[in-house]
Structure formats: structure tokens, C-alpha cells
Homo-oligomer: A and B are copies of this chain.
Amino acid sequence: MTDLAAVKAALKTQAVETPSWAYGNSGTRFKVFAQQGVPRSPREKLDDAAQVHALTGVAPTVALHIPWDTVDDYAALAGYAEERGLRLGAINSNTFQDDDYRLGSICHPDAAVRRKAVGHLLECVDIMDATGSQDLKLWFADGTNYPGQDDLRGRQDRLAEGLAEVYARLGEGQRMLLEYKFFEPAFYATDVPDWGTAYAHCLKLGPKAQVVVDTGHHAPGTNIEFIVATLLREGKLGGFDFNSRFYADDDLMVGAADPFQLFRIMYEVVRGGGFTADVAFMLDQCHNIEPKVPAIIRSVMNVQEATAKALLVDAEALAAAQRAEDVLGANAVLMDAYNTDVRPLLAEVREEMGLDPDPMGAFARSGWAEKVVAERVGGEQAGWGA
């Protein structure tokens, strides 16, 4: 029997971090479609993020991306966030948009470029000190496009060396979250292509280094929840970058492409104790064609729904069926939770939190979208380049 009160309590304490860049423009290599009302500064991104948190109650932190969110005074930015009920979350580094990084950054064949990349990462830790952020999130676009282009093994040596230097700089309570990615923008070989590589590096670095699972960064057919279960078992799951995909790193709204997979992932999180432990739940999405703030609200709700279903799994019944070698029975216990319509439960949870039970409707009624379209005129819209 599931304890509904405990489920509700868990749902109320959930925290989903939204990424500053999802509030700005994004697109594909073919076209970035600009949208009206898009923020033009880190503060305006926080203004939008505050709407998401105000309406959902579970999105209290915002991830920054450096240099897209570079400001003169990070403490002031943190204060600005706090005034809006937010905190600044993970600091995301960028070592892929300078011309120097054409052939890589921390794995580049030229020591000067590697030095520059490590310098940027160290600067990100400085920013963490200023913002109070706990996590340095590292994603490297490093890799090669052609066989022979560079030495695969040598690149690993350089990676290990650079990471070690950054790791040594981490302060008390600070972590390094290392993300892996199957492919793109490197097409032949990626330097951190899978969880095994990220895990092997984190293991050598030490306890402050943890692996990040971006749900869109896997080969087709990969069982992501297995990786989640394994990393939790190893004590090496640092967090998630949530999004969804049909084929590659599509960066669609989390839960949009395969809601059953998201449920299975959240089930393994619950099963492995990750829901209450030190695992960061972050969104990392691109809203190329849909309006951004409501898409982010919807994404947060999708995570909530998957979580609610995962929490509703009758753990005792499941374990009993598994022990009894009852294949269909055990599967049915899981499916019963998945097939439950948890929207009424979440509406209740929201009302108990003093929120509108319908965040999407509430946002539409709030006039925020119209307001920012009217006000955010002129200037340069935020996007991946700025």
C-alpha cells in the first residue's frame, strides 16, 4: 500500500532547476527562430524563471551559463534572484564557442588552448564562490570529426589532467558534475561519450566529482534507467539534465517523447534513494518553436507527473511479485502506477501549497506573456551566442 500523505509530502519538496538559456532563443543549425518577449539579460531571465517557480512551487533555482550570463556583480545577481524567491543554481561552463576551440578545449592538442579552457573553468568556480552555487557543470564539446584527426588516447590524458586541476580548486561543499554525450558537435569521436568514461574520470578525481545524466545523450535503444540505477548504486549520480528526444539530442520538453521512459527513470531514482539524496534535477532544453515560459512550466509539470507515478509504485507488492518470479504480476504493479492519472493528485498538492491547481492556465491568465512582449522591445535578445 502506498502512503498518499508521504507521496504528497515528497512532491512538495521536489526541486527542479531551470536553465537560464532555455528562456532565451535557440534553434538548430538551420535556423534560430527568434520569439517576441524573450529576455535580453540575465535579470530578465530570472524574471521569467520567477514566474515558473511562482506557478509551480518546485522550481526554486536557476542554472547559469558562462559567458552567456556573465555579469559584473554575481552577488548582486544572486540578490536579484533572492528578491524573486529564487536561488542561483549550477554554473555551466562553455568551452565551445571561441574560435580557439575549433579542435577542442580541455583535450585540444595545443597546450595553450587547454590552458585557456582550464582557466575558464577555474573562473567558473570563482563565480560559484560569488553566487553560492554548489555545482560546476561540465559539458565538453570536445571530440574529432575524422578518424586520425587526433589521438584518442592522448586526448583522454589531457582531459584527466585538466579535470584534476579544476577539481583541486573546488571548495568545501562544491562539486564537479561531469556530463557525457553520445555525439554532436563532434561526429567521429566524442571525448566523454558515455557514462562509463565520465564515471572512470570521476572515480579517479574523488568524491566531489559526480556524473550527470542528460536524458538526450545516449545511443538509440540505451536503457537510461539502468544507468541511473547503476550510478546511484556506485554513489556517483550527481544529477540530471532533463529533456526528451525521438532520435538525437533533440532537446524537446522532458516527458514529451517518451513519458514511460521518464517514469522508469524516476522510479529508479526513488528506488535508489536518489529522490531525497544529493541528486540535482535540472532541465536542459531548447524551445525552438514553442513559447518558452509555458514550455518550461509544462516541463516541470511533466517531471512532477512522472515523479508522482514513481512514488505511487507499490514497493511491497512489486518486491513480492519479483520474489515470486511473477513476470506479468511484477510488470503489472509498475504499470498500475504508470497508468494512474496523477493530475488530480498534483492539483491537490498545488492547492495545499497555496498554488493554482492549473499552472498552465494560470500562466495564460497572468498576462505575463503579453507584458514582456510589450516591454522587452529593443536591445539584443538572449540566445546561445549571448
A residues sitting closer than 8 Å to B (CB atoms) are: 26-31, 33-34, 96-97, 99, 101-103, 109-110, 141, 145-154, 156-157, 182-185, 187-190, 193-197, 199-200, 203, 218-223, 225-227, 229-230, 232-234, 245-248, 250, 252-253, 256-260, 264, 268, 271-272, 288-291, 294-295, 298, 305, 318-319, 321-323, 325, 327-328, 330-335, 338-341, 343, 360, 384
Contact = CB atoms under 8 A, between A and B. Distances in A.
Contacts of A327: 103, 145-146, 149, 289-291
Given A27-B185, A31-B185, A103-B289, 12 more contacts: A30-B184, A33-B99, A103-B327, A157-B233, A183-B248, A220-B220, A248-B248, A256-B331, A260-B260, A291-B327, A295-B328, A298-B328
Contacts of A343: 339
The copy count of this chain in the complex is: 4
A246 B322 contact: no
Nearest to A185: B28
Contact of A29 (B29, B253, B268): B29
A148 B185 contact: no
B230 A156 contact: yes
A246 B220 CA distance: 9
Contact of A219 (B102, B222, B272): B222
A157 B338 CA distance: 26
A149 B257 CA distance: 13
Given A30-B384, A187-B246, A188-B246, A291 B360 contact: no
Given A153-B229, A185-B28, A318 B196 contact: no
A264 B30 contact: no
Nearest to A291: B328
Contacts of A230: 153, 156, 196-197, 200
B229 A156 contact: yes
17 contacts: A28-B185, A33-B99, A34-B99, A103-B327, A145-B288, A145-B290, A148-B321, A148-B322, A148-B330, A148-B332, A148-B335, A153-B268, A183-B221, A199-B200, A220-B220, A258-B258, A291-B328
Contacts of A151: 271, 319, 322
Nearest to A98: B31
Nearest to A335: B148
A189 B300 CA distance: 24
| Most chain B CB within a 10 A radius of its CB, from A318, A339, A384 | A339
Contact of A252 (B187, B268, B360): B187
B193 A196 contact: no
Nearest to A99: B33
Contacts of A197: 196, 230
A332 B327 CA distance: 34
A231 to B, nearest CB: 9
A22 B149 CA distance: 20
A146 B252 contact: yes
